[in-house]
Structure 1
Amino acid sequence: MCICSMAYEKELAAAKKAVSLAARLCQKLQRSLSQSDILTKPDNSPVTVADFGSQVVVTLVLQKELQPEPLSLVAEEDSGELRKNGAEAVLESIANLVKDTLDSDGYYPSSPLSTDHVLRAIECGRSEGGSTGRHWVLDPIDGTRGFVRGEQYAVGLALLVEGQVVLGVMACPNLPLACDTQKPSSDEVGCLFSATKGDGSYVQPLKGDGTPQKVQVSSIDNPEEAKFFESYHKPMPIHSSIAKKLGIKSLPVRMDSQAKYGALAQGGGEIYLRFTRNGYQESIWDHAAGSIVTTEAGGVVMDAAGNALDFSRGKHLCHKTGIIVTTEKLKPWLLKAVKESMEEDKLHLLQLQHV
């Protein structure tokens, strides 16, 4: 074990405990999800009682495991919708879900959990992060749309120290342990990824006490043989342009959440493309855990200009359009295809403006 890993041994154990329990909560609810469990945020994106419950579980576990250290947490969900009149039943449902999850592990066997405790735990995630100090970064359910459909989602937790991601843990309950993301077998589904800076990336079964196994990105060096991942929801046309320039023959693998990072880290594909609409700001919780899992497995995470992502600027990433993830062997090919496709896009827009 390297010195860096030993320095964060306590934090890694706490993160794995927190994420595993949060994933257990999510799995339980996904099997019985009803319309009353789904709310709509002001931006029209879905949020479920599992999103809130997962955030509460992670917060409570980190607070207990890391005491007396104060917890600075940058998390996706806030309590605004839950403090409105009429949200009492939802709050009670979240409290019961969290208590059942912790009780099932003997974690808080006799502790009463009130709705006030739930609200305070959610509001603990209000930190802004930044370039100084230690901040945990949490996405309690990344890929809520996939969660609602019964498909891929992830619980992602990372630790920032002085603006650098030094540790990441990610649960992907519906991702197969084997590399083939298209043919999962029922007894090989459910991954818990973990990575510490300088110590590699590991995966173990989400259930049970399996030994963590080191993972490595694919060794494919011919871009025509590469498989690429993109989001299930509204993939951008530039993705197909890039794939065409690379000569990729296979269809894209579409899935929600940072599960794409995990699949790439264990060699299930070679390229992940994420271009978004103009003006969209990427949140750090959507990439922090997945990025270190992938880079410690030998992968590369960068913006469209080839720069590493900067997690030190607060809740949002400041980067040039697009995030691309790949292997060192395919990086030159991919950057060339991205540059050509972006130049063609700009030319096309200029031509439209003059029609």
Structure 2
Amino acid sequence: MSAAFALEKQVAVSAVLRACQLTSAVFKNLVTKETVTKKDKSPVTVADYAAQAVINTIITAAFPKDPIVGEEDASDLRSPTSDDAALLRERVTTLANDVLTPPPSEEERAEWGLGFGRTTTELLAAIDRGNYAGGRTGRMWALDPIDGTKGFLRGGQYAVCLALLVDSVVQVGVMGCPNLPVDPSNPSGETGCLFVAVRGQGAQQRPFSSFQSTTLRIPPSPSLSDVQFLESVEAAHSSHGFNARVASTLGVTAQPNRMDSQAKYCSLSRGAGNVYLRMPTGQGYREKIWDHASGSLLVEEAGGIVSDSLGRPLDFGLGRTLGENFGVVAAGKDIHSKIIEAIQAVKAEESEKLTSGL
């Protein structure tokens, strides 16, 4: 009897690996004019669009009835009067077809939409397949074609992230990290890692260069003073100051490891860091489901716990965001509750200062 979600896992692995091939090729040839700016001022590259086009094309071919919640849409590419949009459309089409047209490998199937190219119109439609609003019931995929765009642009960490949710529960998570060292103890060695998790079936890592997988288990946490926090590089994405106060409350003296993207979940799952703490810098911010779906399952299947800052499970059934979940805390089971207690202590101190006018 085949394992649950075996086909979905195969398709997701194929889609993510082909998208990672694309993003790596773009980085090697990136030029400034291929970068546009979204309304929230975060950079979006031609690789975001092309990677989403590739993954959505493969998912749609394999599972035509499944909706997709994707980060990007093709509105900026559709401008009929913009020379920049015309250039982007041309580049997206070329890049996407470069990785869609090679014939299926032994691990892939032709019915996944592989082995032939698509028109620009078809690829723009594929990008816009990611406009699903999300919801509580049914199947849906959550996609971030490049999580950590600024990391991608600077040659740092980024991840191609894809997850399958059924009735708002993450069942399959696949992440490709082209710049993450295969061996965390050898940062100058081979890079390019694929992380795969299926609910109830554990978490694995394999290098891009082979099919040999390693089972991931979060090791016991060190003494509190040696606990290492995993944080975002960008202070605008997560409050470094709040994290520092939590670390101080716990007696942590180790310096945090800062990297972009869900690569932090990947690092945590293999013991390269002990706590991923992400506290928004503003009360109005809502986390997007594609930023946490695949990573949260990976950590859970590696033996950890992922919650919001109050210890509540992340709720993926409220649409495209995590709704009222505030903050994200991921850690091993032996330390997670201590992190939550420290967060609440720091919040109480902040509240007292505000009340007293200090």
Corresponding position: 1:99 with 2:101: no
Deviates more, 1:110-119 or 1:309-318: 110-119
The letter for the 1-side match of 2:46 is V
Residue 206 of structure 2 aligns to a residue whose secondary structure is strand
Contact 2:141 2:164 in 1 (8 A): yes
Instruction: Say whether 1:272 aligns with 2:276.
Output: yes
Contact 1:218 1:269 in 2 (8 A): no
> Does structure 2 retain, via aligned residues, the 8 Å contact 1:49–1:94?
yes
**CA deviations over 1:87-136 (Å, ceiling 9, x no partner):** 11110110000111223455778734222112101111111121111000
| Matching of residues 172-251 of structure 1 within 5 Å | 172-180=177-185, 183-187=186-190, 189-206=191-208, 208-234=209-235, 235-236=238-239, 237-251=241-255
Superposition map of 1:15-164 within 5 A: 15-66=12-63, 69-84=64-79, 85-86=81-82, 87-104=85-102, 111-164=116-169
Residue pair 2:100, 2:115 contacting (<8 A) in 1 also? no
CA–CA distance in structure 1, aligned partners of residues 114 and 147 of structure 2: 29
Structure 2 Cα separation of the partners of residues 331 and 47 of structure 1: 34
Contact (CA 8 Å) 1:222, 1:330: kept in 2 or not? no
C-alpha distance in 2 between matches for 1:150 and 1:179: 17
- Corresponding position of 2:107: none
Q: Percent identity?
A: 38
1:186 alignment partner, SS class: coil
State the distance in 2 between where 1:247 and 1:127 align: 44
Please give the alpha-carbon distance, in whole angstroms, between the structure 1 residues aligned to 2:58 and 2:148.
22
Q: Distance in 2 between matches of 1:14 and 1:110?
A: 15
Amino acid at match of 2:66: L
What letter corresponds to residue 193 of structure 1 in structure 2?
F
State how far apart, in whole Å, the 2-side matches of 1:323 and 1:195 are: 19
Shift of 1:223: 1.8
- Between the aligned partners of 2:6 and 2:98, the Cα distance in structure 1 is 28
Cα deviations across residues 321-346 of structure 1 (Å, max 9, x unaligned)? 32111111111221111111111122
CA displacement 1:143-173 (0-9 Å, x = unmatched): 0010011110001000110111111000111
Runs of 4+, deviation exceeding 4 Å: 104-110
Q: Residues 196 and 112 of structure 1: is their aligned pair in 2 closer, same or farther, counting only changes over 3 Å?
A: closer
Q: Aligned partners of 1:42, 1:53: CA distance in 2, in Å?
A: 19
Maintained 8 Å contact 2:134/2:319: yes
Q: TM-score, normalised by structure 2?
A: 0.92
1:19/1:157 contact within 8 Å kept: yes
Alpha-carbon distance between aligned partners in 2 of 1:350 and 1:37, rounded to the nearest angstrom: 49
CA RMSD, Structure 1 to Structure 2 (Å) = 1.7
Q: 1:209 to 1:341 in 2, by over 3 A?
A: same
217-226 or 259-268, which moves further after superposition?
217-226
- Separation in 2 of the partners of 1:34 and 1:104? 25
Deviation of the 1:320 alpha carbon? 4.2
> Any conservation in 2 of the 1:59–1:124 contact (CA below 8 Å)?
yes
Number of aligned residues: 344
